[in-house]
């Protein structure tokens, strides 16, 4: 049995490794950029989550530490502040990112320092309206018919979305048809700076540019404009099934797929 499961385990740990890495010996700013900046800025406006400027003035230090190290438990435990924030941010849940207490304290110090100095960290999302050209280009990036400047693999090597990919798209990541409903105007920031472990492993070194991320987000918005009623229920379920299924499947197809991804990572001659 061991020899059969071994490749699967190796693949799994390869996927989870990037999650463990930011925790060791890196400073708070690096960690903020990697794990928080897809959804937060300090002093550059709100994105998927609140602008963290002056956090220390509006929340007790202990509350923030608890929230950063275990948002899910606080939201599910009915903490009144967490519940209000969740409503204010359209039901998008701050994910648990495996942050330890000392790391959270270093992050809070970073937030205090930037706030006190009036410095900003992070960039506001591009807010111009998307043109048909943006949507067209976004689709090309999604499918891989146009390459990201950084050489990052196409979204479709791991994802599908309505009308693109279908069974031919990748299954390692969830279907992205509902991504706009889930992340709203912050989606471009999430794509530019993904904090999800698997994606971060690939995109930390080869990020999409702000402009590219904006175009992919514009494309996803154009395919996600079906009524949200069913999607809200179905999508998170699909997401989990997609992730778990993708990882199991990854055990079988992963080596081939990752080889493909790696090949894509090399710039075309």
- Give the residues lining the site for ligand HEC (CB under 6 A): 35-36, 38-40, 48-50, 52, 55, 59, 64, 67-68, 71, 75, 85-86, 89, 92-95, 97, 99, 107, 153, 155, 157-159, 172-174, 176, 179, 182, 190-191, 195-199, 202, 208, 216, 239, 243, 246, 261
Nearer to ligand HEC, 3 or 268 (CB): 268
Please, which residues bridge with residue 231 across strands? none
Q: Which is nearer to ligand HEC, 7 or 75 (CB)?
A: 75
Return the number of other C-beta atoms located less than 10 Å from residue 245's C-beta. 14
Nearest approach, Cβ of residue 107 and ligand HEC (Å): 5
Tell me whether residue 115 or residue 195 sits nearer to ligand HEC (CB atom): 195
- State in angstroms the smallest separation of the CB of 65 from ligand HEC: 9
What are the start-end ranges of the H helices in 70-186? 71-76, 80-88, 101-117, 132-143, 179-183
Q: Which is nearer to ligand HEC, 44 or 158 (CB)?
A: 158
Burial class of residue 78, CB neighbours in 10 A (0-12, 13-18, 19+): exposed
List, in order, residues 6 or more apart from 12 with CB less than 8 Å away: 247, 250, 251
Provide, rounded to whole angstroms, the least separation between the CB of residue 194 and ligand HEC.
6
Residue 236: strand, helix, or coil: helix
Q: By C-beta, is 3 or 248 nearer to ligand HEC?
A: 248
For residue 21, give both structure tokens: 């890495």
Rounded to the nearest 5°, which phi and psi values hold at 143?
Answer: -80, -15
Residue 216 CB, nearest approach to ligand HEC (Å): 5
Orientation of helix 61-69 relative to helix 101-117, angle to 10°: 130
| Nearest approach, Cβ of residue 136 and ligand HEC (Å) | 16
161 forms beta bridges with 164, 165
Residue 68 vs 164, nearer CB to ligand HEC: 68
Nearer to ligand HEC, 1 or 240 (CB): 240
Q: The tokens of 160 are what?
A: 């599908």
Least distance (Å) from ligand HEC to the CB of residue 3? Answer: 26
Query: Smallest distance from the beta carbon of 113 to ligand HEC, in angstroms?
Result: 14
Contacts of 188 (CB under 8 A, 6+ apart): 125, 126, 210, 213, 214, 216, 217
Round to whole Å and give the CA distance between 101 and 86.
22
């Amino acid at each position: 049995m061991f020899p059969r499961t071994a490749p699967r385990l190796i693949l799994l740990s390869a996927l989870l490794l990037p999650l463990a890495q930011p925790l060791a010996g890196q400073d708070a700013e690096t960690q903020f950029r990697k794990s928080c900046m897809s959804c937060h800025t300090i002093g550059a406006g709100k994105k998927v989550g609140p602008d963290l400027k002056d956090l220390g003035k509006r929340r007790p230090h202990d509350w923030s530490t608890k929230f950063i190290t275990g948002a899910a438990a606080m939201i599910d435990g009915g903490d009144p502040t967490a519940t209000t924030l969740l409503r204010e941010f359209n039901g998008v849940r701050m994910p648990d990112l495996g942050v330890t207490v000392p790391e959270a304290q270093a992050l809070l110090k970073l937030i205090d320092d930037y706030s006190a100095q009036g410095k900003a960290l992070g960039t506001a999302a591009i807010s111009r309206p998307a043109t048909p050209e943006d949507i067209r280009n976004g689709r090309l990036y999604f499918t891989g018919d146009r390459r990201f400047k950084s050489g990052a693999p196409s979204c479709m090597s791991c994802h599908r979305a309505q009308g693109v990919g279908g069974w031919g798209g990748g299954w390692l990541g969830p279907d992205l048809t509902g991504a706009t409903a889930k992340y709203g105007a912050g989606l471009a920031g999430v794509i530019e700076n993904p904090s999800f472990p698997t994606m971060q492993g690939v995109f930390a070194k080869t990020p999409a540019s702000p402009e590219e991320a904006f175009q992919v987000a514009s494309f996803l918005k154009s395919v996600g404009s079906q009524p949200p009623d069913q999607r809200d229920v179905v999508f998170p379920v699909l997401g989990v099934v997609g992730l778990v299924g993708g990882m199991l499947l990854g055990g079988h197809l992963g080596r081939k797929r990752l080889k493909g991804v790696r090949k894509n990572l090399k710039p075309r001659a």
